[in-house]
Amino acid sequence: MVLVSLVLQHAKPYKAWIAAVFVLQLISTIAALYLPSLNAQIIDKGISMGDSGFIWSTGMVMLVVCLVQVVTAIGGIYFGARTAMAIGRDLRREVYRKVDSLSALELGRFGTATLITRGTNDVQQVQMLVLMTLNFMVSTPIMCIGGIVMALREDAGLSWLVWVSVPLLFVIVGFLVYLLMPLFRLMQDRIDGINSVLREQIVGIRVVRAFVREPFESERYRTANENLTRVSVRVGNIFVLMFPVIMMVLHLATAAVLWFGGHRVDTGEMQIGSLTAFLQYLLQILMAVMMGVFMVMMIPRAVVCAERIQDVLSTESSQLIPDASVATPAVGLVEFRNVTFGYPGAERPVLDNVSFTAEPGKTTAIVGSTGAGKTSLINLIPRLYDPQQGEVLIDGVPVSSLTRAQVSSVVGLVSQKPYLFSGTIASNLRFGRASATDDDLWEALRVAQGEDFVRNKAKGLDDPISQGGTNVSGGQRQRLCIARALVAKPRVYLFDDSFSALDVSTDARLREALGEVTGDATVIIVAQRVSSITDADQILVVDDGVIVGRGTHEELVERNETYRQIVESQLSVQEVA
Ligand code: UTP
Ligand code: MG
């Protein structure tokens, strides 16, 4: 049902093409049905009576009918293919747009791998079925019924052959399909399995090597691969059986027609021409039955795929995106008002009643142990997630009432896991502002302390970056991401542990340069090293999702136990070193 409604809904724009397919196939099928009977006439009236004039004229008619049949068949397939491909394209586009609109919450629930499969392979399965349906929907039933009628018209005495061979073929092919169907479903699962193992291994290849996990991982892959192979071999075995069996039925039917028909020709009950026509009709019917069964065979797989696609399409983003209504914040005052936030499925919220204000022109630092909730807190500002309670505001406007474009123009996030896209250094830096000049890019790189290494690249700004930025070092990636945020010149800068890969002196130089360019913008820094935030205007100490202290470095050292512990642990490390 999902399959039908999904396809019908997406077929609407292509009504005209589908109508063309109908008409063309109708003509083509009728022409195909007419040919054997013309042939019979040539044999019975033309050849046996030696009437060459009749042979010529009927022959010409046959030629024309044949041409019409070929042209309409080609036309039908052409429009059918166009329609199926167009529906596939629309579905893919819709899945893509939907995925694009979902928030981190829903994306996390689905998982990357399955979203990719749904947007590609699953759509393709549905598209295949649409193609098959359009190609055979009209021709198969007409061919079956028309063929039977025409065959009976040629000779009713042989009709029992139709009633025997058609059900026989139907039962045999049907039985094989019945065996195949669960295997197909299993195969889809196994393909999913192999995809997910392979994906994980390629993405994590460095870790796998570092921990010498290759034997374990290759064993995992071997198992997945063999599982798929086993199913494929079983499918193959059935197919191997299928074609000889079908051929056997066809040949038996042919032999039977010739045998019984031959006797009837002998006794004068039937003419030779009728015999050949009857044979051709019977073969046409059997072929149509076979095609019909094949089509039916594709349905279950497509149904599963359609359900998986519909699953994505019917997911509503938990975040309502407003259509531009309020003015874009121009100052960048960030305020958290009693914010409580938890990840779905978690028992406890990761942030509990958090309130603070980060002012423009000032630097707010966030410190706390791992897992304290710093990243979660930062991610609420560009609205990667929505809090369950409370509000996040910029210039007094809740971020939930800003459009995505507005949010991204106001907030520049350098996330903890820096990510670059395939392309060049320049194309990555221009993410934030497409109109940035090369000078802007160099300036951003200078501030981000990335100028030297980019200058050393063979092609400078045009040096290639691979997907995820795996062809530059961790520290370089981090600096490029900082530069990317700087190019956009947002009102609010968020640095989530962005200086961790820098040595202490580079860190200091970066912060100094940053101070110049951020000017009157709001800066929020999550830091591991206390030394890099001692001069912040305000430091928030986060512990287990709660702000347990706020103030300047001096104030906190004096009166905050948690902060003192963090400072002491780091000082002692430095002293030892
Ligand atoms: P955070 O990622 O906010 O911690 O996760 P953090 O303070 O930034 O930690 P570091 O310093 O970068 O290491 C806070 C809690 O939220 C949970 C984690 O289990 C963690 O305890 N969490 C995080 C989730 O449940 N789901 C997520 O997607 C991320
Ligand atoms: Mg973090």
- Give me the count of residues in the chain: 577
Residue 409 to residue 425: CA distance in whole angstroms: 21
N-term to C-term CA, the chain: 69
Q: Kindly list the strands in the beta sheet with 411-414, ordered across the sheet, starting from the edge strand earlier in the chain.
A: 411-414, 492-496, 522-526, 363-367, 538-543, 546-551
Q: Which residues contact 369 (CB under 8 A, 6 or more apart)?
A: 543, 566
Q: What is the mean pLDDT of residues 309-315?
A: 92
Mean of pLDDT over the chain = 89
**3-class state of residue 392 by DSSP:** strand
Half-sphere exposure of 348 (CA within 13 A, CB side): 8
CA of 422 to the centre of ligand 1 (A): 27
pLDDT score for 14: 95
Which pLDDT value is given to residue 123? Answer: 93
**How far, in Å, from the CA of 502 to the mean position of ligand 1?**
22
- Name the DSSP class of 470: T
* Distance from the alpha carbon of residue 527 to the mean position of ligand 2, in angstroms: 9
Is pLDDT above 80 for 219? yes
Return the best residue to mutate from 343, 350, 525 for the ligand 1 pocket (most ligand atoms within 8 A of CB).
350
Residue nearest to atom 4 of ligand 1 (CA): 371
User: Would you put residue 356 in left (φ > 0), alpha (ψ -120 to 50) or beta?
Assistant: beta
**Measured in angstroms, how far is the CA atom of residue 179 from the centroid of ligand 1?**
49
Q: Is the CB of 376 under 6 A from ligand 1?
A: yes
Cα–Cα distance, 285 to 142 (Å, whole number): 10
Whether ligand 1 lies within 6 angstroms of the CB of 280 is answered as no
CA distance 307 to 291: 25
Nearest to 6 by CA among 292, 300, 315, 305: 305
Task: Confirm or reject: Cβ of 545 under 6 Å from ligand 1.
Answer: no
Domains and CATH numbers, the chain: 2-313 (1.20.1560.10), 334-416+490-576 (3.40.50.300)
Q: Which atom of ligand 1 is nearest to the CA of 542?
A: 7
Provide, rounded to the nearest whole percent, the portion of the chain with pLDDT above 90: 46
- Higher-pLDDT residue of 372 and 173 is 372
Nearest-CA residue for ligand 1 atom 26 is 343
Residues 521-548: what's their mean pLDDT? 91
Does residue 100 contact residue 49 with C-beta atoms inside 8 Å? Answer: no
pLDDT in tens, 377-408: 999 999 999 999 999 999 999 998 998 888 98
User: Is the CB of 343 inside a 6 Å radius of any atom of ligand 1?
Assistant: yes
Strand order in the sheet with 389-394: 351-358, 334-341, 389-394, 397-398
Q: pLDDT tens across 49-108, in order? A: 888 899 999 999 999 999 999 999 999 999 999 999 999 999 999 999 999 888 888 888
pLDDT > 90? residue 247: no
Q: Rounded to the nearest whole angstrom, what is the distance from the C-alpha of residue 374 to the centroid of ligand 2?
A: 5
H/E stretch holding 358 reads strand 351-358
pLDDT, position 572 = 64
Examine the pLDDT at 577 and tell me if it is beyond 50: no
Q: Are 429 and 483 in contact (CB under 8 A)?
A: yes
Q: Which ligand is nearest to the CA of 372?
A: 1
Cα(416) to centroid of ligand 2, in Å? Answer: 6
513 compared with 502, residue with greater pLDDT: 513
Residue 48 in this model has a pLDDT that exceeds 90? no
Residue 575 has pLDDT above 60, yes or no: no
**Global pTM?**
0.77
**Burial level of 346, CB count in 10 A (0-12/13-18/19+)?**
exposed
Check pocket membership of 393 for ligand 1, CB cut-off 6 A: no
Instruction: Summarize the confidence of residues 457-480 as an average pLDDT.
Output: 88
Give the mean pLDDT of 407-417: 91
